[in-house]
Amino acid sequence: MEPSSHETAIEYLKTAIFSERDLRFREAINDLNYHFIKTNDVQVLKDIYFKLKDITLRNIILGILMHNEIGLKQFFLMYIKKNDI
């Protein structure tokens, strides 16, 4: 995947109105690539993750965050609490 499509996707997600039904919103999540995630993108993805109900989109974001070593211990603790694991 090209960094430019990832950058376009993350910029869109930073400003988009949250809508799981919006095809462009869903495509933007699918266009994300964990290789290009920056530290300042993580909070945007966390915010979207906790609003999502669609398990497929949640898993995409979770997979992206799991591949980064950006100090996400607190995020995963919140994930476990939210999902009663």
pLDDT tens-digit readout, 64-79: 887 765 566 666 677 6
Residue 25 contacts residue 56 (beta carbons within 8 Å): no
Written as one string, the DSSP assignment of 26-56 is HHHHHT--GGG--HHHHHHHHHHHHH---HH
Query: Would the pTM count as exceeding 0.85?
Result: no
**Which residue has better confidence, 42 or 1?**
42
Domain ranges of the chain: 3-82
Report the share of the chain in percent with pLDDT over 90: 49
pLDDT-based confidence at residue 83 (cuts at 50, 70, 90): low
